[in-house]
Chains A and B, each alone.
Chain A
């Protein structure tokens, strides 16, 4: 397999790149002469693309690689990959589901606890010496709060399992009811938001879920409600979210993703009722190694003509 050209869109993760170089002829996108020069020698040697959630495989890149057979993304989301073009060209696509489920669900619960119990604000309070003068303010309890989950897929279900242990009643919104889940289903996200205290966004980003949390949903959640987003930034109308938080129409937010990363609205920087996180939902050593192993296993399966482990297309 050493002769197989594998293009990586950018330096993604040292361990992944090291393991890819051991097995394949690893080429960095920055080393390519130009996307527009089709059929040059390098482009024609590339049979696989490895990318991630930030830098995917767009139409232009796919079209510039005449021998491309597979795109393997180091992420669960693949909204930056042109799936239609891949289907049309008969290019396979794999992602890394499941292995990051636990870590993203952990992040969701961690953000919720940090928002409700003001963990980061009180840590700062101690470090700044304010405790010497007075006790910290009372916060709000998380256990027992009604949790509404948008998207009851792998990650949503893993979040539900965790918050159930905190005695939280669980409801959800998704395109179709999952009656085997045992949780309360709302066919309308506004109804879900009206009936929960914590709204967690855990669905895939599609045209239908773009800005699924809009002004109406935020207002339905209300001034005591908390939004947790571990999905994608564009799931939430960020402009409306910032307005609601600064105007007190929403109680708080824990955000791991933003509409225009790494830009984060500066209006949020002074707020105590938000916890901001730099898109690290799955960024642990354990999970990244497991994701890297899965990317490689998919590529190896493909080139050995075995079934892909986690195919998308």
Chain B
């Protein structure tokens, strides 16, 4: 992932009075929304642009026939981006602004080739995803959800809950020491955890222990956290070999992308007890989650909510709006990827 210059989040909040900011011409710009995003973003886009919602056109041909020649921007998210076909069918497309940090659903090469700008929403969701990572680790090791069910179902009256596993002091191995990985490391350090990591290259300025192979990292940690971007190289970076190296006392936390993990291998490792537990926010084929996991108490399953808080989604929406405005006013993008 490229690292744009650090930005100050508080400066990115969208202008509450867009009319004062945008020339009259902006309301005529057509923007295609390809994903159902939070209502706030949809409302703000409607105020500013001629917003076209993809789902209003069950027939894509009709959408293209009516708007292909006017759409200058596409807004998507981590699940719905802009593939080569869509990009090629929009001759006036200038920018793809994604309401997500991950852009694996956008054909970046095609955008580069055609001179189309791409922006995402980094940084603003870093804290949120790192928070959820620690929450998942604690929930898996300390069985927080299982304990909650134990109380609500009245079982506590029949006997104490069993002992669980301590988190503080465990070794945390992080795949990908980017923004999110570093934020996870910072938090885990406050739990007296020793931190190690794998990434393509060693980060010389990091004080954490580097492993040049994921298998080595997994062999030497209790908690393995997947926090890298999804690329061809990181597809199924957690495979059978890595899971076996992590072992029956190790737990896997995935807050990256579903495709980072070979899901059938994870399921069989969990069912066979070859891995101690898992906290999973992302899946290979969302919203489908392997049903074999539903009965397991050593897993915590989340519906891809890493950044799904009111606070962060609002910041992300403001950043999408800020990038679009900057582009159409001829200013530098706030968080450009391409």
Interface residues of A (CB under 8 A from B): 102-103, 105-107, 109-111, 113-114, 116-117, 119-120, 122-127, 131-132, 135-136, 138-144, 161-162, 164-167, 261-264, 269, 275-280, 283-288
Contacts and interface: CB of A to CB of B under 8 A. Distances in A.
Contacts of B160: 278-279, 283
Contact of A140 (B130, B151, B189, B309): B309
B142 A264 contact: no
Given A109-B138, A140-B309, A284-B165, A117 B301 contact: no
Interface of B: 38, 127-128, 130-132, 134-136, 138-139, 142, 144-145, 147-152, 156-157, 160-161, 163-169, 186-187, 189-192, 286-289, 294, 300-305, 308-313
B311 A141 contact: yes
A263 B144 CA distance: 18
A136 B191 contact: no
Contacts of B131: 113, 116-117, 141-143, 166
Given A117-B305, A143-B127, A284-B166, A264 B145 contact: no
Given A143-B128, A165-B189, A114 B310 contact: no
7 contacts: A103-B166, A106-B191, A111-B144, A117-B131, A127-B301, A275-B144, A280-B164
Contacts, number: 168
Contacts of B156: 261-262, 264, 278
A164 B195 CA distance: 18
A113 B145 CA distance: 12
Nearest to B190: A165
A117 B132 contact: yes
A15 to B, nearest CB: 10
B148 A287 contact: no
A198 B139 CA distance: 19
Nearest to B152: A269
B168 A106 contact: yes
Contact of A139 (B136, B145, B168, B310): B310
A262 B144 contact: no
A146 B230 CA distance: 34
A149 to B, nearest CB: 15
Nearest to B192: A102
Given A109-B138, A141-B310, 9 more contacts: A110-B135, A110-B167, A114-B145, A116-B131, A123-B145, A126-B301, A127-B294, A161-B190, A264-B156
A110 B165 contact: no
Contacts of A161: 190
B100 to A, nearest CB: 13
B250 to A, nearest CB: 15
B164 A283 contact: yes
A222 B303 CA distance: 29
B189 A144 contact: no
A22 to B, nearest CB: 21
A283 B308 contact: no
Given A139-B309, A165-B187, A110 B142 contact: yes
Nearest to A254: B144
Given A138-B309, A269-B152, A287 B166 contact: yes
B142 A280 contact: yes
A106 B148 contact: no
B167 A106 contact: yes
B163 A119 contact: no
Contacts of B127: 141, 143-144, 166-167
Contacts of A141: 127-128, 131, 309-312
Nearest to A261: B156
Nearest to B281: A122
Contacts of B139: 110, 113-114, 119-120, 123
B40 to A, nearest CB: 10
Contacts of B168: 102-103, 105-106
A154 to B, nearest CB: 13
A98 to B, nearest CB: 12
B253 to A, nearest CB: 12
Contacts of B148: 114, 120, 275-277
- Looking at B147, B186, B294, which has the most chain A CB atoms within 10 Å of its CB? B147
Query: Most B CB atoms within 10 A — which of A140, A166, A167, A263?
Result: A166
Nearest to A111: B144
B310 A125 contact: no
